[in-house]
Structure 1
Amino acid sequence: MGKRAKPEEIIAKLREVEVRLARGETAAAAARAVGVTEQTYYRWRKEYGGLQVDQAKRMKEMEKENARLRRAVSDLTLDNQILQEVGAGKVLSPSRRRDAVDHVVEGLGVSERRACRVIGQHRSTQRKPGTPRGDEGRLTEAVIHLAERFGRYGYRRITALLRADGWHVNEKRVYRIWRREGLKVPMKQPKRSRLWLNDGSCVRLRPTHKGHVWSHDFVQDRTHDGKVFRMLCVIDEFTRECLAISVARRLNSRDVLDTLSELFVQHGAPEHIRSDNGPEFIATALRDWLGRIGVKTLYITPASPWENGYCESFNSKLRDELLAREIFYDLHEAKVLIEAWRQHYNTARPHSSLGYKPPAPKAVLPAAFIPPYCGGVAA
């Protein structure tokens, strides 16, 4: 096969043929003189007739550019078809991308390399089969069991509970199981802005150690017969420990004083105690009694519950995880269930602000340790 002629060579031969035709030679003879057939001459004249050499070069460049653009448009169209075949949204997990690549290759007939490039799947990941771990089934059952038991816990608290049960697992693996099983993640609560003054100082007193600042507040609910009962919640703001939840049909300032006196004997008196301006907390008898003991009172601004944020946060957890999920048929049942939840909150429930550890975990003693005066036989 002969070498393909360049545009400038073709134009030069056409000019030579025109000169020969002007001398009276036939088209066939002139074409043979330049080394081409008569059909080739007519084809060249139709394509390059009347063009200069630079014009022919530009025309060829434009043809190449048009061919490149057509290929690019064709590639973009095919890529768009691949993405439409996959569906709306991002395909994030490798297993789902693997299924998407297989679907595109089978449905559109494109190569696996092209489908992986468009979808964003590495070819080695596509060809490597997924090998689930041996404990995947048991871990899935444990996650589902904890999610059914603690319906308002997210995957992070479930991970902390799994680690407490002896599982060596990270949050990413639990999150993959969480999403695969279709478990519902609780909605996040909007964060309140900090109370800062213009000079950068903070309005509310921040707890710095255990027993520095306590806070208390009332929560109200109803039993199954529609009767109202109240709960007095007392927490330590530094450790987040719930010190007591007093439950009764009615609670007044005398009940608040009795509850605090029992807690002061058990835990010691705090330096400060924070509350709102309810009549039970600003009663003269209660304030005089706290003043004699040496406990300073911190009253929040009226109609500003966010200034008592620690206790309000605890109250929301109490209502979300217990009160909104249980039916109390009588006051005694309410007391038992609320106290059981308080013990779980202090000793087992992971707290996000404490590194997903409970506020007051139970102490685990060594097996060989025998506490004194417990009926053990001395060695």
Structure 2
Amino acid sequence: MRRSRFTDEQIIGILREQEAGAKVADLCRKHGMSEATLYNWKAKYGGMDASDAKRLKALEDENAKLKKLLAETMLDASALRELLSKKLVEPAAQREAVAHLQASFGLSERRACSLIRADRTTIRYRSCRPNDAALRGRLRELAHARRRFGYRRLFVLLRREGETAGLNRVYRLYREEGLSVRKRQARRRAVGMRAPILVEAKANARWSLDFVHDQFANGRRFRILNIVDDVTRECLAAIPDTSISGKRVARELTALIEQRGKPGMIVSDNGTELTSNAILAWCAERRIERHYIAPGKPMQNGYIESFNGRMRDELLNESLFFGLDHAREMISAWVTDYNIARPHSSLNYQTPAAYAAGLRAARDHHAAQQTSSARWPLAPVAPHGVSPAKTLTAAG
């Protein structure tokens, strides 16, 4: 507000001169003001003395301050209503909110920061990170090629290619690109006392068998016989067919033994193909110990169940099979990738083939350093749930 060059006492004195009989024109010429100003003073201060004028001036100043405070409060309330639906936790959101308040309400940076309780250094910060375009592009390519891989496995694949970015940086880009994998629903967990099966840390110590079911594009169903080495986590065989009998299972196991050697134990559920006379006779003939899990307890065969889940999540749910030959081709390629290229989290993100090679090398070194009577250490414990003491004695 423009400040008058006349004080309240001077204004009251001029009005007193006019009331004493001085002409308006002479007063205006004497004090250097217009007649309109004099009449405005008379309308405002007529009949007052100096103390009354000062009190009126003080009231006007206080009223102006209250109006300004009310206007600012209403402006702040209106600005906050604009931000009710926004979370102002991350610095990027705070910067966006401050820019919106400055553009829409004309607020200063200081006032906008105090309104949302943000530090001005945070608002003024400008990122100096290097350009991540190449890394983002490669991360998207890997995520689209392996749609069920999380950021940890993608990080391992990037490291294999020579990428030097750390895990936290890869995770940040993974989140910003919206590549998160939908999680499965939590399963019911078993309760009670559990006893693990103990085996030596070597290949062929124990094999697990199980069947997986799926269907072709025409609706015809087929099944896959999966065989997994519980120590190295290698998929030894994945055999798809429309029908797999007990005799077929025995033939496939015979061919597998000719390639890899005899297993110490074979674990499976109580399916009709795996409890048939052909399988029992085959085990007795080759003197291979069989262990059947308790009915309704699939976690007692947890390694093969975990493998089945990975196969269904990464292959069966993501692929459309047009025939048995097509299914065999795709399953064979996936198994090769699973054994050679796919990082396994329980093996410290090594591949099963690399882990098996490391076990063989460590075993050879141990044999060279120790006597033949020395006992090889135990492998990580098997899935929980197996309690018979006979099984522990035979397997350990």
Asked if these proteins are the same fold (TM beyond 0.5), I'd say yes
Counterpart pick for 1:138 among 134, 138, 141: 134
Question: Which residue in 2 is equivalent to 1:293?
Answer: 286
| SS at 2:237 equivalent | strand
- Out of 124-133 and 253-262, give the one that drifted further: 124-133
Contact 1:214 1:235 in 2 (8 A): yes
Asked if 1:170 is matched to 2:166, the reply is yes
In structure 1, list runs of 5 or more residues that go unmatched: 1-36, 43-70, 365-379
- Out of 352-361 and 118-127, give the one that drifted further: 118-127
Counterpart pick for 1:99 among 78, 91, 96: 96
| SS at 1:190 equivalent | coil
How far is the alpha carbon of 1:238 from its aligned partner? 2.4
| SS at 1:320 equivalent | helix
Deviations 1:317-349 (A, max 9, x none): 211211122222221111111000001111111
Deviations 1:67-120 (A, max 9, x none): xxxx9xx99x95x87665445464454333322332234445555456556757
Higher relative contact order (CA 8 A, sep 6+): 2
Deviations 1:245-275 (A, max 9, x none): 0122211111111222222232222222211
Question: d(CA) in 2 for partners of 1:117 and 1:191?
Answer: 48
Shift of the 100–341 alpha-carbon distance from structure 1 to 2, 3 Å rule, reads same
Q: Give me the TM-score of the superposition, normalised by structure 1.
A: 0.67
Question: d(CA) in 1 for partners of 2:317 and 2:287?
Answer: 38
Matches for 1:19-30 after TM superposition, within 5 Å: none
Matches for 1:1-379 after TM superposition, within 5 Å: 78=76, 84-88=81-85, 90-110=87-107, 112-113=109-110, 115-116=112-113, 121-134=118-131, 136-190=132-186, 192-194=188-190, 196-197=192-193, 202-205=194-197, 209-210=201-202, 211-361=204-354
Contact 1:154 1:186 in 2 (8 A): no
| SS at 1:281 equivalent | coil
- Out of 106-115 and 141-150, give the one that drifted further: 106-115
Question: d(CA) in 1 for partners of 2:320 and 2:51?
Answer: 101
Question: Which residue in 2 is equivalent to 1:54?
Answer: none
How far is the alpha carbon of 1:244 from its aligned partner? 0.8
Question: d(CA) in 2 for partners of 1:205 and 1:306?
Answer: 12
Question: d(CA) in 1 for partners of 2:117 and 2:264?
Answer: 59
Letter in 2 for 1:337: M
Question: Which residue in 1 is equivalent to 2:382?
Answer: none
Question: Which residue in 2 is equivalent to 1:56?
Answer: none
Letter in 2 for 1:104: L
Shift of the 189–270 alpha-carbon distance from structure 1 to 2, 3 Å rule, reads farther
Shift of the 117–330 alpha-carbon distance from structure 1 to 2, 3 Å rule, reads same
Alignment identity in percent?
A: 38
Letter in 2 for 1:100: A
CA RMSD of aligned residues (A): 3.6
Question: d(CA) in 1 for partners of 2:335 and 2:100?
Answer: 52
